[in-house]
Chain A
Amino acid sequence: MNEMTRLAATAIPTLSLQGVGFVHRGQTLLHPVDLRLEGCRRTLLMGPNGAGKSLLMRLAHGLLTPTQGQIRWEGRRPRQSMVFQRPVLLKRTALANLTYALAVNGVPRARRKSVAREALERFGLAALEKRPARVLSGGEQQRLALVRAWLTEPEMLFLDEPTSALDPAAIKAVEDAVRDFHARGTRILMSTHDLYQARRLADDVVFLCGGRVLEYTSAAEFFTAPVTPQARAFIRGELVW
């Protein structure tokens, strides 16, 4: 509860994208989009492969600079973290991966290990503490990446298809973790092409197709009354492009 009140006390700045587009070698990968992410909501980026989900997420997180348009945080830049489709863990032990993130965030050395152990415990990964992170299973690696993100107390968390290569048990663990983040007061932007996952997690849905944002509505509306034919086809499980 302590954590929740701490994060909720200050509102998360709104992320505003205005006419944001991305052109690479003459090819338009993302047509200009306007998007506002507000409050503590879980927004799911949906769409077929190659729709531009990862690209939009990297632009929003600041890993890429748009070739047109503007990305702005209204007010201040919040603490943010990203979990990738293929988790990138350092060639160190699981624990060292976590203490590294804490060090980067300026946590004093004396506290790092105990804080990291606590987090491993919380997410049920305590047994992995001394294992080299790079030899963990895919599911364990992704969960460790989530713990690492957890430790940086992000106000906004980006997840790029975090479960696309995982088995059902690991998928559940990741989804539970996403709910934990949200419950602590973190805004979520997550991409997926799994309809069921989106139904389970989404407050809002951004539907992308062919580098265009076709819909941005509440999840309830998107799943019951999609506006565009592409979204209707996508929800029915048909091929769209």
Chain B
Amino acid sequence: MTDDANAFQTALSLILGLDPDLLGIVALSLRVSLSAVLIATLIGLPLGAALALWKFPGRGSLIVVLNAFMGLPPVVAGLTVYLLLSRAGPLGELGLLFTPTAMVVAQVILVLPIIAALARQQIEELHGDYHEQLRSMGLSKQRMIPTLLWDARFGLMTVILAGFGRASAEVGAVMIVGGNIEGVTRVMTTAIVLETSKGDLPLALGLGILLLGLVALVNAAAYLIGESARGRLG
């Protein structure tokens, strides 16, 4: 018990003392996960909207696949990207393996299905509500997309947060394609795994607390923005 209490104290002092190693790890984590979420959002929202609006053969199967991929194990995503980027792989020449870029790619694969699938549900629902009016106004499906994305923005913000949650919490994919190299590809989750296995519980615990705090902070900000806008717009 006292060990744990000590670990907790040390963790706090590391955080409050703005330990440079710790800060580096936190910064890289944020950079990787936020980049992945940004890219997945830019692809996922239009993709979700297209799936919501257009009926085409194979649409049902595509939706099932997307939904299934929401539960894709991170290690599988990591392994796939690893095989693609490894020296002998088809994209080996790019030399991206064990770089933050590779980690972003792996996380995009994890986050994209979540954002696309959940966005489709949100947009389909709103489209059901809006489509007669928008068609009556003479809008083509293409021109409806910006309107639907904008008017569904509060729901979509939650969708993007779900994606961010997935990206910031996963460890398997970034471990495999990043390699957990100190100062280069070490992020919070991989560092926690490493420090725990080394027995350096204070650092692991400190990182855990920080990770929780960051995720809570992002969610709180999104919640506040959403609530105030909802209050204004009903």
Contact = CB atoms under 8 A, between A and B. Distances in A.
B234 A135 contact: yes
Interface string B210-234: 0000000000000000000000111
B138 A104 contact: yes
A88 B137 contact: no
Q: Majority SS of interface residues in chain B?
A: helix
Contacts of B130: 88, 90
A90 B132 CA distance: 12
B231 to A, nearest CB: 9
B59 interface: no
A88 to B, nearest CB: 4
A91 B132 contact: no
A88 B232 contact: no
Contacts of A101: 137
A14 interface: no
Given A88-B132, A132-B234, A104 B139 contact: yes
Nearest to A79: B138
Contacts of A135: 234
Given A63-B132, A88-B130, A91-B151, A152 B137 contact: yes
Interface in A70-87: 81-82, 84
A63 B137 contact: no
A135 B230 CA distance: 11
Contacts, number: 38
Given A90-B151, A132-B233, A134-B234, A104 B132 contact: no
Nearest to B126: A91
With most chain A CB atoms within 10 A of its CB, the pick from B129, B143, B234 is: B234
A111 interface: no
Interface string B129-161: 110110111110001000100010000000000
Interface residues of B, number: 15
B22 to A, nearest CB: 43
Contact of B137 (A92, A104, A132, A134): A104
B234 A91 contact: yes
Interface residues of A, number: 18
Contacts of B139: 104
A132 B129 CA distance: 17
A63 B234 contact: no
A199 interface: no
With most chain A CB atoms within 10 A of its CB, the pick from B130, B136, B137, B233 is: B136
A90 B133 CA distance: 9
Contacts of B129: 88
A18 interface: no
Contact of A90 (B136, B143, B147): B147
Given A104-B138, A104-B139, A92 B133 contact: no
Contacts of A15: none
Contacts of B138: 104
Nearest to B139: A104
Contacts of A84: 132-133
A133 interface: yes
Contacts of B133: 84, 88
Contacts of A152: 137
Contacts of A92: 151, 233
A63 B133 CA distance: 9
Nearest to B130: A88
Interface string B144-185: 000100010000000000000000000000000000000000
Contacts of A81: 136-137
B233 A82 contact: no
Given A63-B135, A91-B233, A93-B232, 14 more contacts: A61-B136, A63-B136, A81-B136, A82-B136, A84-B133, A88-B129, A88-B132, A91-B151, A92-B151, A92-B233, A132-B232, A132-B233, A135-B234, A152-B137
